[in-house]
Structure 1
Amino acid sequence: MIGWHDVYKVVEAMFPLYVALVLGYGSVRWWHIFTREQCDVINLLVCYFTLPLYTLEFASHVNPFKMNYKFIGADAISKVIIVIVLVIWAKCSSKGSYCWSITSFSLATLTNSLVVGVPLLEAMYGQMSVDLVVQSSVIQGIIWLTILLFVLEFRKTRSDSLSMMDDPHAVSSLESVKDIERNEQMVAISRPPLWSLLKIVWLKLALNPNSYACFIGMAWAFIASRWHLDMPGIIEGSILIMSKAGTGMAMFSMGLFMALQENLMACGPSLTVFGIVLRFVAGPAAMGIGSIAVGLHGDVLRVAIIQAALPQSITSFIYAKEYGLHPNVLSTAVILGMILSLPILVGYYAILEKSLL
Structure 2
Amino acid sequence: MIAWADIYKVVVAMVPLYVALGLGYGSVRWWRIFTPEQCEAINRMVAYFSFPFFTFEFTLHTDPFAMNYRVIAADVISKLIIVLVLAAWAKCSSKGSYCWSITSFSLCTLTNSLVVGAPLVNQMYGRWAQDLVVQLSVVQAIMWLTLLLFVLELRKAGMGEAVVAATSSGGGGGGSVDQQPVKDVEGNMTEVVASRPAFWSLMKTVWLKLALNPNSYASIAGITWAFVANRWHFEMPNIMEGSILIMSKTGTGLAMFSMGLFMGMKEKIVACGPSLTAFGMALKFVAGPAAMAIGAITVGLRGDLLSVAIIQAAVPQSITSFIFAREYGLHADVLSTAVIFGMLVSLPLLVAYYFVLGFMN
Q: Is 1:273–2:278 an aligned residue pair? A: yes
Match of 2:315 among 296, 310, 320: 310
- Give the letter for the 1:287 counterpart: M
Deviation at 1:277, TM superposition (A): 0.6
For 2:162 and 2:40, the matched residues in 1 are separated by: 34
- Give the letter for the 2:334 counterpart: V
Map 1:59-74; keep pairs closer than 5 Å.
59-74=59-74
Alignment match, 1:181:
none
Q: Is 1:234–2:239 an aligned residue pair? A: yes
Alignment match, 1:13:
13
Deviations, residues 33-68 of structure 1 (Å, cap 9, x unaligned)? 444444444434433333322222210011112211
Match of 2:170 among 164, 169, 172: 172
Counterpart of 1:111 in 2: which secondary structure? coil
Deviation at 1:219, TM superposition (A): 1.0
Q: Tell me, yes or no, if the aligned pair for 2:146 and 2:215 is still in contact at 8 Å.
A: no
Deviations, residues 182-241 of structure 1 (Å, cap 9, x unaligned)? xxxxxx989655443333222222333333321111110011011111111221122223
Q: Is 1:254–2:264 an aligned residue pair? A: no
Q: Tell me, yes or no, if the aligned pair for 1:281 and 1:309 is still in contact at 8 Å.
A: yes
Deviation at 1:73, TM superposition (A): 0.8
TM-score normalised by structure 2 residue count: 0.81
For 2:101 and 2:244, the matched residues in 1 are separated by: 38
Deviations, residues 42-100 of structure 1 (Å, cap 9, x unaligned)? 43443333332222221001111221111111111111111232234334433233333
Alignment match, 1:179:
none
- Give the letter for the 1:271 counterpart: L
Structure 2 alignment gaps of length 5 or more: 175-192
Assess, with a 3 A threshold, how the Cα gap between structure 1 residues 248 and 33 changes in structure 2: closer, same or farther: same
Q: Is 1:289–2:294 an aligned residue pair? A: yes
Q: Tell me, yes or no, if the aligned pair for 1:9 and 1:124 is still in contact at 8 Å.
A: no
Q: Tell me, yes or no, if the aligned pair for 2:77 and 2:295 is still in contact at 8 Å.
A: yes
Assess, with a 3 A threshold, how the Cα gap between structure 1 residues 119 and 211 changes in structure 2: closer, same or farther: farther
Alignment match, 1:185:
none
Aligned-residue sequence identity (percent) comes to 66
- Give the letter for the 2:97 counterpart: S
Structure 1 alignment gaps of length 5 or more: 177-187
Counterpart of 2:231 in 1: which secondary structure? helix
Q: Is 1:89–2:114 an aligned residue pair? A: no
Deviation at 1:350, TM superposition (A): 4.1
For 1:317 and 1:226, the matched residues in 2 are separated by: 35
TM-score normalised by structure 1 residue count: 0.82
Q: Tell me, yes or no, if the aligned pair for 1:78 and 1:289 is still in contact at 8 Å.
A: yes
Q: Tell me, yes or no, if the aligned pair for 2:2 and 2:123 is still in contact at 8 Å.
A: no
For 1:282 and 1:20, the matched residues in 2 are separated by: 30
Q: Tell me, yes or no, if the aligned pair for 2:60 and 2:222 is still in contact at 8 Å.
A: yes
Q: Tell me, yes or no, if the aligned pair for 2:284 and 2:314 is still in contact at 8 Å.
A: yes
For 1:43 and 1:154, the matched residues in 2 are separated by: 21
For 2:250 and 2:27, the matched residues in 1 are separated by: 18
- Give the letter for the 1:146 counterpart: T
